[in-house]
A and B are shown apart, each in its own frame.
Chain A
Amino acid sequence: MDPVIELDGLEVRFGQRVILKKLKAALTGRSVGLLGPNGAGKSTLINTLLGFHKPSAGTARILGRDVRTKAREVRSLVGYMPENDAYISSMTGVHMVRMMAELAGLPREHAIERAHEAFFYVGLGEVRYRAIGTYSLGMKQAAKLAQAIAHGPKVLFLDEPTNGLDPPARTRMIQLIQEIRDRGDLHILLSSHLLHDVEDCCDQVLILKDGNVAAFCNLEEERRANRRFLELETRGGNNGDFLAAVVKLGCETAPGVQGRIKLVMPEGLDVRQLYAIAAGQNVQIRRLNHKRDSLEDIFLKAMENPDGRL
């Protein structure tokens, strides 16, 4: 599959400081998460892809277009929702989105139509004629999303889209992003330091630390792999015999306290076989969980590397 975003030794310097250090990655997912602690270089990477910063070495390509030489073409493919408040305070919401769509190249009548559509789509239909400076934080976030999608981009950059949102507003924003992703009309690059946002919306994740790629993984594959990782809580019988029988089936096990066992099942082994063995050993399986928070584990492991390098 052709990469949506390709980082080819991308380096960005601000004066003497190296912010992005020769990043290399090929992002192919429909929705890619960009994770990292504050100051890792997430926003700088997005700004560089938009052509706001010039790479000091290497380059990046979006849908095959080089951001160094074809910045204008790249920007015509992209919709951008910035991290900070960004609006024209004197304009009404729909007026601003309409102007932004026209600047992206839409003829006036199409821009009007799509600005209204985008506002209804993000749930601001009723307030679209209010000055955007009077919007609440949640409304401003939604308005930023509206201006990012109004011109129908092929790639959507979302920089911390749930920043400052209360739980219902966050849920609504995540639902919108999922809905856009699931329609399959565009690719999403979502930058966040919130693991749950990325886990909920993305199928690939690029983790940055100190300007390096600390980890790059396919969440779908990780999720599939995690189906083999179980946590059991057992009662009664001889736990040792049960463990030995499970090991004989090819499982890797790690016994814990109070009858808790972590195990990794081999390919082809069904969970029902564990229940059958437990029944034979007179062991009760009180609880069985598939492993959760896989992204958190990946993230923490990535953060353990001293300079963030893989």
Chain B
Amino acid sequence: MAVYKKTYRPYEGELTPSWSRFLVIPRYAFEELHGKRFLTIFFLASFIYPLICALIIYVQHNTSALSLLGVQQGARGLISINVTFFMSLLGWQSMLALFMASFIGPGLVSPDLANNALSLYLARPFSRVEYVIGKMSVLAILMSLMTWIPGLLCFGLQGYLEGWQWMRGNARLASGMFFGSWVWILILALLALALSAWVKWKPAAGGLMFGVFFVGSAFGAVINAVQRTRWGNLFNVGHLIGVVWVQLFEGSNQTTNGAVFFRAAQDEVLPLWTCWTALLALALICLYMLARKIRGAEVVR
């Protein structure tokens, strides 16, 4: 029967498993993002640095390529594939992830709030938590593709070329890349959603994302300078993440003080537990902000 001849009829067919329904949100979001040329180009451009890293790893292990470059001896000294190499990769990619979250994040929740679409989502067998996870997964998937996935691919390539011994000896780099990326992804995604829920004007919400990182670090630096303390770094999210990354990548044998964009002066490094606590507090504040706004119906007391 032609579709236009059909009339209302109840649905008696099968249903999808309820755990998988949050995935509907990223699928539709990606369809929409795919139509935005700037974001698509930016996303593709974000793979340039990992490709360069992969090329460096390849060249380091390819004698004919090295001879073309005129390097015969001491090839390993050209660029060392070590913790600094992988942390730099993560640092660059994480900064690009911040830009991506600032471009996409503000458009995730605010349009639903502005047009009362939340009542449509939540009138279905679909909870507030699933809604937030669905929206977060849009950012989490994109940022994963920009951070830990290329990082682990580079690690895998280096391990493949260097051998099993190297892989075993440097397994902490892989786990640091994976867990360090996820800490950053979760913080960024929560912050982007929380700001999107509270600031309905998208450019303002995007600006605030940068504000939290850059103005926060400037504010922290001012406190450090005026009060002659290091506790101003509690407002510097980059510093907090950097300290956590160093611990995840190197454990107690620390040789670096963070990654590019995410490091602090040696004498200003905060204790590890304060950094974890501050990041946890930031995440809880974001969750609280989301819990206040993500409701099927607004309550006017």
Chain A residues with CB under 8 Å of chain B are: 14-15, 17, 43, 47, 50-53, 72-73, 75-76, 78-80, 82, 84-91, 95, 99-100, 102-107, 110, 113-114, 116-118, 120-121, 125, 133, 147, 149, 151-152, 154, 157, 179-180, 183, 185-186
Contact = CB atoms under 8 A, between A and B. Distances in A.
Contacts of B74: none
B24 interface: yes
Which 8 A-B residue pairs are closest in the complex by CB-CB distance?
Answer: A152-B11, A52-B296, A105-B15, A80-B123, A86-B116, A76-B125, A52-B297, A15-B301
A53 B297 CA distance: 8
A92 B16 CA distance: 23
Contacts of B299: 14, 53
Given A53-B299, A72-B125, A117-B6, 15 more contacts: A43-B297, A52-B295, A72-B18, A75-B125, A85-B115, A86-B117, A100-B124, A103-B126, A106-B13, A106-B15, A121-B8, A147-B120, A154-B10, A185-B10, A186-B10
A20 B28 CA distance: 38
Given A52-B297, A152-B12, A86 B115 contact: yes
21 contacts: A17-B301, A43-B297, A50-B123, A52-B296, A52-B297, A75-B123, A85-B116, A86-B117, A88-B117, A90-B32, A100-B120, A102-B16, A103-B126, A105-B16, A106-B13, A110-B11, A117-B8, A117-B9, A149-B8, A179-B7, A185-B10
A52 B16 contact: no
A79 B3 CA distance: 21
Contacts of B7: 121, 179, 183
B4 A120 contact: yes
A82 B116 contact: yes
Interface of B: 3-4, 6-16, 18, 21, 24, 28, 32, 111-112, 114-117, 119-127, 295-297, 299-301
A34 to B, nearest CB: 16
Nearest to A126: B4
A78 B123 CA distance: 8
B278 to A, nearest CB: 33
Nearest to A86: B116
Contact of B10 (A102, A103, A152): A152
Contacts of B126: 75, 103-104
Nearest to B4: A120
Contacts of B4: 120, 125
B112 A88 contact: yes
A103 B13 CA distance: 15
A169 B216 CA distance: 53
Given A52-B297, A102-B16, A120-B3, A183 B125 contact: no
B50 to A, nearest CB: 31
Given A52-B297, A53-B297, A82 B120 contact: yes
Question: Residue among A80, A99, A105, A125 with the most chain B CB within 10 A?
Answer: A105
Nearest to A73: B125
A180 B8 contact: yes
Nearest to A179: B8
A76 B14 CA distance: 13
Most A CB contacts (10 A, CB to CB) among B114, B119, B301 go to B119
A50 B127 CA distance: 11
Contacts of A120: 3-4, 6
Contacts of A121: 6-8
A73 B124 CA distance: 9
Given A86-B115, A89-B115, A104 B124 contact: yes
Contact of B111 (A72, A88, A149): A88
Nearest to A107: B16
A15 B297 CA distance: 15
Contacts of B112: 88
A117 B3 CA distance: 6
A105 B296 contact: no
A105 B117 CA distance: 18
A104 B297 contact: no
A75 B119 CA distance: 12
Given A82-B119, A113-B3, A120-B3, A103 B296 contact: no
Nearest to A147: B120
B120 A86 contact: yes
A107 B14 contact: yes
A8 to B, nearest CB: 21
Given A14-B300, A52-B119, A52-B296, A104 B125 contact: yes
Contacts of A87: 115-117, 120
Contacts of A82: 116, 119-120, 123
A105 B125 contact: yes
Q: Which of B12, B14, B15 has the most CB of A within 10 A?
A: B15
Q: Determine which residue in B7, B8, B299 has the highest number of CB atoms from chain A within 10 A of its CB, and name it.
A: B8
A113 B301 CA distance: 42
A114 B115 CA distance: 24
A86 B296 CA distance: 11
Contact of A116 (B3, B14, B127, B296): B3
Contact of A103 (B14, B121, B297): B121
A50 B120 CA distance: 11
A86 B112 CA distance: 8
A76 B32 CA distance: 27
A52 B124 contact: no
A89 B11 contact: no
B107 to A, nearest CB: 8
A88 B115 contact: yes
A179 B7 CA distance: 10
